[in-house]
Amino acid sequence: MVGNGDFLPITHTGSTTLPSSSGIVSLKDVLVCSNIGKSLVSISKLTKDYPCSVDFDCDYVRGTDKATKKLLAQGNNRNGLYVLKDSSVHAFYSSRQQTTSEDVWHMRLGHPNQQILQLLHKNKAVNISKSSKGICEACQYGKSSRLPFSSSCSTTSRPLQKIHCDMWGPAPIKSVQGFSYYAIFVDNYSRFCWFYLLKFKSDFFKIFTIFQALVENQFQNKIGSFQCDGGGEFTSARFLNHLQQHGIQQLISCPYTPQQNGLAKRKHRHLIELALAIMCHSRMPLKYWVEGFFTANFLINLLPTTALTESKSPSEVLYGHKPNYTSLRVFGCACYPTLRDYAKNKFDPRSLKCVFLGHNEKYKGYRCLLISTGRVYISRHVVFDEQDFPFHTVSPSPLTLSTPLLKAWQKSFQSQSTNNTENQSQNKPEEV
């Protein structure tokens, strides 16, 4: 820093000599400033490194060796500045100790990020003379990446004010009913999720009109805005005209930016993970994925979530009362529905061992699958055995979808079933 407060960039540091009438005076820690007009000598630094004394008066300056009393250098006063005679200086500097701008070090070190460069400067591994806040064009060409996403500050004050939507599919295999896709509609206010099945993506428009009519009639509110991605089912002329006619604002996430529809994407992940967990636990065949996903969505709507105030459940926020968990049963467990009304004669059994497939949205009852026939009975009068899972003991059919992980999964419980059979045969008492 010079007298007027300005900073001059230091390009190098090194050492040099100052010629004198009685020899050579060595100068250490010389700073090379290419932008400076004149070479300056620090008297405090000079007297500290070399045993000499310097005397000033109104006309002259004299430097004397303290030991020999010989004159080392002298000069006169020129316009308020003391100039030494024969003071031409030739600096010799080391490139290893160069001090240069932040931009130059950035290029030398292979374009590292700002934090690495500042760490090296803090540890005094490099000397930076001038900082830079410019944009490196080469870094943009070679290292351009997605910018971080800030937390969403979007809030809603009523149900249906903003609906998030996304579609999943096609499923690796078709369900028993022939479905390959599903669509979810998530209410931003309550986080409640509606789950709809589709056989083809082209069915979405029909599904949306059914959903719209249902929720707007139930809650006496209109859908305000509709958040989705840029999929063809969401950008078709027919769907866009429908939104315009009903005054619904459409919000579309940028291409390859699923984070802008993050609420629906996270709901997908939660839904799939929970569905796979309950299906793997009960060893439910994959063709029943619809039942597993529907049950997962039903349970998620009843579970408390930290996304809502006081960790309430979506169902409680939307409907205004706490959910009742007493009717829940373990998915895929054994169940015995009352089948008296299906009996043809008095010798028919009053019930059969079935598999619990979940609840039904239209009935206050349970869906019970009879494995031998594939028939599903809906009944309120059901006795459950939540420790027994029929598909654990049924010989698994060959997988329609064959992948290494699925083969390993099926093989694992096939071996378990074999071990259980061997143990039972060993423990069986011998006949006498």
Whether the predicted pLDDT of 167 surpasses 70: yes
- Answer whether residue 425 is part of any domain: no
Where is the domain boundary, 45, 76, 96? 96
Integer-rounded Cα radius of gyration of the chain: 41
To 5 degrees, how large is the angle CA 353–CA 354–CA 360? 145
Amino acid identity, position 348: D
User: Which backbone phi and psi does 173 adopt, to 5 degrees?
Assistant: -135, 155
- CA 60, chain centre distance (Å): 72
Rounded CA-CA distance 270/195 in Å is 13
The β-bridge relationship of strands 127-128 and 162-168 is unpaired
Same domain flag for 246 and 378:
no
Dump pLDDT digits (tens) for 364-413: 889 999 998 999 999 999 999 999 999 888 766 555 566 787 777 677 76
Contact 55, 61 (CB under 8 A): yes
Same domain flag for 35 and 77:
yes
CATH number at residue 181: 3.30.420.10
- Answer whether residue 223 is part of any domain: yes
Same domain flag for 200 and 312:
yes
Q: Determine the pLDDT at residue 153.
A: 55
Task: Write the DSSP symbol of residue 288.
Answer: G
Nearest to 342 by CA among 330, 334, 350: 350
- Answer whether residue 296 is part of any domain: yes
- Answer whether residue 22 is part of any domain: yes
Q: Determine the pLDDT at residue 398.
A: 56
Contact 274, 293 (CB under 8 A): no
The β-bridge relationship of strands 181-187 and 193-198 is antiparallel
Please count the other Cβ atoms lying within 10 Å of the Cβ belonging to residue 358: 23
Dump pLDDT digits (tens) for 307-334: 888 889 999 999 999 998 988 999 999 9
- Answer whether residue 381 is part of any domain: yes
Same domain flag for 124 and 110:
yes
Same domain flag for 168 and 298:
yes
- Answer whether residue 4 is part of any domain: no
Name the least confident of 21-30, 95-104, 280-289.
95-104
CATH number at residue 345: 2.30.30
- Answer whether residue 421 is part of any domain: no
Q: In which domain, by residue range, is 113 found? A: 101-135
Same domain flag for 301 and 207:
yes
User: Which backbone phi and psi does 167 adopt, to 5 degrees?
Assistant: -120, 145
Task: List, as one string, the DSSP characters of 232-274.
Answer: HHHH-HHHHHHHHHTTPEEEEPPTT-GGGGHHHHHHHHHHHHH
Whether the predicted pLDDT of 165 surpasses 80: yes
User: Which backbone phi and psi does 14 adopt, to 5 degrees?
Assistant: -175, -145
Same domain flag for 124 and 75:
no
User: Which backbone phi and psi does 281 adopt, to 5 degrees?
Assistant: -65, -40
Same domain flag for 228 and 279:
yes
Same domain flag for 240 and 130:
no
Same domain flag for 82 and 108:
no
Same domain flag for 287 and 204:
yes
Residues 317-320: contacts with CB under 8 Å, at least 24 apart:
317/189, 317/190, 317/191, 317/192, 318/159, 318/187, 318/189, 318/190, 318/192, 318/219
- Answer whether residue 63 is part of any domain: yes
Same domain flag for 281 and 176:
yes
157 versus 400: which is more confidently predicted? 157
Where is the domain boundary, 257, 287, 319? 319
User: What is the number of structural domains in the chain?
Assistant: 4
